Structure 1
């Protein structure tokens, strides 16, 4: 069996999670690492038993290696477009981390590059591989809680140390916390309830006041089939990280997140009717869930399968762009104070 040979562009923590996932996959092989910080790149390479000659500080030199079949791009969002275009032009399959890009124009250019190259182009929307969210989607699709009528997700993550000052790459005026991190929650609800039809949002900045963008945003959304919902994002909150999400249906409710080893289901009409004086809908059913909130193993497996078996990737450029489009509509609503209909057209 010919293994798919990977290069990883970045030696960040998330990049190293992908490196580990590649090494665990019996159809993949890690061949090269690139980071502008040579010391960091060498340390990551040594961790995964790569020799120093397989380490680069210029990603274009990594792309020149003909043996490399695919690359994973885990660099700052502002760099995604150029690196994706260059990688596809070099004949490599590409897995690019979320958010796909910061503008519609960049998303469009990346999609065109992917379609013209004939290579696999996937966006790393990692929440689609989180066991709790996968189980929630499975239960909803099977009709376990009846017809959906309300969905919500939150991205609560204290960035005080992640973005220590305005010189950090995450402090770019184009990269709000809602788009950069909150896109996780937006993509999760898109995956389960469909593309938001209309959004209305409010925001403030009371925590990370040195940032050029807001640090707290709440958006109300209309989804297909009359479903309504909410996305809450705070990157300055004082609490533990969570993506707690709740899905309300006509026959029950699901509470799920990416940091708890169980999913909670409330369901009406259980056979027993009541338990210790409680109605069935008031008794929580706990589904054990594997804790894996950044399941790069599942993501890499999906990508490798698409390449090895010539299948469509599960989250292609158009899916990634739709999540960006919905997120940008929220930011536009914050700016205008008016409802906004996301534009999902890609030219």
Structure 2
């Protein structure tokens, strides 16, 4: 049986080659309000049906929808798809308010459909390799991790349609990012930094969030501070530090991670010739003589499907990551299994942004993370946020 997929958001097609590389999967429809871009992308990728109105696409013959629109639309469009009887893969974040996260959890549980958040940084090969080493115990008991998303996006605060060279009127329009990203305080976009690290801390959950900002220096016209740092205390007592910086004048580094365990550690590259590196403690090893080893020496720990990926799969993006995230979504639909990044992960990881904003507005006070897995639908008292 062919699974027919529709995509809403013609600018967000990072996963389309993944869908097109899987047998018996068809990207059958594309929806976007911008007619020119809609037709251009449909022709480029051979998508047979196009829609300007999302509800019209939902009424066509589809099995699943990919939500690739601006983040403030993700929740509403996800619920509409679920209520139309369709499976959903949503780009990050899952929602923009705590209420939306509770509504999302309830809608997914009620629907019985597959919901997966498309956090593709979890599927970057290096992060998959580290996860495999964690599962095999090579780092011992892991207790500290870091994730950083450093990406100057000041230029994206204006211009909401397809850019046309010399079209100053379009370029001057205020974009959604001005409000929903650079208009927020705290770690507003945490999932790229947090998702891979949380998957390394298998079975743990975030218990509290504390956030701090540097103030307004580089671009004081935005409510977002230059750098926001968030400390996530896990239920186990372990710690994750996040940094989000989308304003500072510095090179792009959106995928920096560290991991520390009792038997070793990992650090992603910082730039200028640096490379990913690992240290594993050997018997009799002394800290004065301990030495890093390049991550490439440990490629045998890549999951088998990454090691055996075809050229077509690798070409999907992120060295095959954009293929395997789609494969996991499709497999969950076909086999009725839980997707690797389910609605509870999506809600918890997204809630870090929302609780971060509350913490930073209260001088860095810790804010308790609700347990989305345990809280039953309708238990409104359990949804109270506690400072």
Tell me if both proteins adopt one fold, taking TM over 0.5 as the criterion. yes
**2:311 equivalent in structure 1:** none
Q: Distance in 2 between matches of 1:103 and 1:158?
A: 24
Gaps of 5+ in 1: none
Q: How does 1:1-347 map to 2 (within 5 A)?
A: 2-12=1-11, 15-51=12-48, 54-65=49-60, 67-164=61-158, 167-172=174-179, 176=184, 180-193=188-201, 194-203=204-213, 204-237=215-248, 238-256=250-268, 263-269=276-282, 279=289, 281-287=290-296, 288=299, 292=318, 295-337=321-363, 338-345=365-372, 346=375, 347=377
Gaps of 5+ in 2: 159-171, 307-316, 378-387
3-state DSSP of counterpart to 1:46: helix
Q: Distance in 2 between matches of 1:179 and 1:152?
A: 14
Deviations 1:33-91 (A, max 9, x none): 0001011111110011124xx111111111111x2111100111111121111111111
3-state DSSP of counterpart to 2:258: strand
Q: CA deviation at 1:257?
A: 6.2
Q: CA deviation at 1:294?
A: 8.4
Q: CA deviation at 1:187?
A: 2.6
Q: CA deviation at 1:138?
A: 1.5
Q: What count of residue pairs does the alignment treat as equivalent?
A: 337
**For residues 178 and 135 of structure 1, do their structure 2 counterparts lie closer, same or farther at Cα, with a shift above 3 Å needed?**
farther
Q: CA deviation at 1:270?
A: 6.2
**2:164 equivalent in structure 1:** none
**For residues 42 and 261 of structure 1, do their structure 2 counterparts lie closer, same or farther at Cα, with a shift above 3 Å needed?**
farther
Q: Distance in 1 between matches of 2:320 and 2:367?
A: 31
3-state DSSP of counterpart to 1:226: coil
Q: Distance in 2 between matches of 1:169 and 1:294?
A: 30
Deviations 1:146-193 (A, max 9, x none): 122321111111112222478110122576375553232123332223
Q: Distance in 1 between matches of 2:185 and 2:35?
A: 29
Deviations 1:101-129 (A, max 9, x none): 01111112122222222211111122221
Deviations 1:202-258 (A, max 9, x none): 113322322233342012232243322311110012212332111111111111369
Q: Distance in 2 between matches of 1:147 and 1:332?
A: 32
The question of whether the paired residues in 2 share the 8 Å contact of 1:133 and 1:258 is answered with no
**For residues 36 and 179 of structure 1, do their structure 2 counterparts lie closer, same or farther at Cα, with a shift above 3 Å needed?**
farther
